[in-house]
Amino acid sequence: MTSLPYDRLCTEIVAQTDQLRAAVRDADLTTPVPSCPGWHLGELLRHLGGAQRWTETVVRTRATGPVSDDQVNDVSGADTDPAAVDAWLADGAARLAAVLREAGPDAPVWTVAPGGTPAFWARRMTYEAVVHRWDATAALGAEYVLAPEVAVEGLDEWMEMSALPQAYASEPLRRELAGPGRTLHFHPTDTGAAPLEGAEWLVDLTGDTFVWRHAHEEAAATVRGPLTSLLLLMYDRPSPRGADIEVLGDAALFETWRERCSDWLRR
């Protein structure tokens, strides 16, 4: 269930890609991307554009099962001609947004996690672009700004994915996290006097099934920081590890949870 409207997510796919295109337009696409070890900018962009084209195929064909994702993971031979890459990225994002709008949010389609509709893909591809835009801007030392409501939606998605058993490498590793009093609270520090609705999260690991909710409650570990930094922290992007993130209480529990529940990103 998303809080941002479906059409806004479709718009964000293009908007985030356009901002990424602007950030790298005059860049050397052989520049290394430290947050994606082994990749240069051209390979990062090939991965993102490939993911968008793969998703466009899944939704356009109303796939009922897995579709080969070679174009997502194979970045060998990535183009480093800026003009060609720019046009390719623009076209892929536009095609994906158009197909998502044509399908509508509720059409049955295969998804990599529970959902089974284009609404899943609209949100997933928004945050694929959000995070990789950060990778590129960080590699170039450029400014990165994300709308707060987009960061909130991204944290919602992360919490939903982290509660799924399939988010973990194995059931024993997931079960090792469970136990009495094992809770995590995420508290943004930049929402001002009128916080965004739902902009706090409580993760409950005390039962066999992990759950989360929007709540301001005491927890074994509390993670505080700006909304964008909290979102990037979930993806283990390095900049939020600085002074703008504070972990109170059981920091080891937080680090272990974040590491283990992010296995879905490595598949």
Q: What is the pTM of this model?
A: 0.94
Query: pLDDT tens for residues 114-162?
Result: 999 999 999 999 999 999 999 999 999 999 999 999 999 999 999 999 9
Domain span holding position 163: 149-266
Is 1 contained in some domain?
Answer: no
Rounded Cα distance between 56 and 63, Å, is 10
Mean pLDDT of 94-117: 97
- In a shared domain, residues 113 and 170: no
Q: Give me the pLDDT at residue 242, please.
A: 55
Is 62 contained in some domain?
Answer: yes
Judge whether residue 31 has pLDDT over 80.
yes
Rounded Cα distance between 134 and 146, Å, is 9
Q: Give me the pLDDT at residue 117, please.
A: 98
| Domain termination site, one of 129, 145, 161 | 145
Residue 200 and residue 222 in contact, taking contact as beta carbons nearer than 8 Å = no
- In a shared domain, residues 179 and 214: yes
- In a shared domain, residues 236 and 112: no
* Element containing residue 265 per DSSP (H, E): none
Q: How many CA atoms lie within 13 A of 120 on its CB side?
A: 16
- In a shared domain, residues 158 and 191: yes
Query: pLDDT tens for residues 175-233?
Result: 999 999 999 999 999 876 455 677 899 999 999 999 999 999 999 999 999 999 999 99
- In a shared domain, residues 157 and 262: yes
| Domain termination site, one of 79, 114, 145 | 145
Query: pLDDT tens for residues 9-22?
Result: 999 999 999 999 99
Which residues are CB-neighbours of 38 under 8 A, at least 6 positions away?
none
Rounded Cα distance between 77 and 202, Å, is 43
First to last CA, the chain: 23
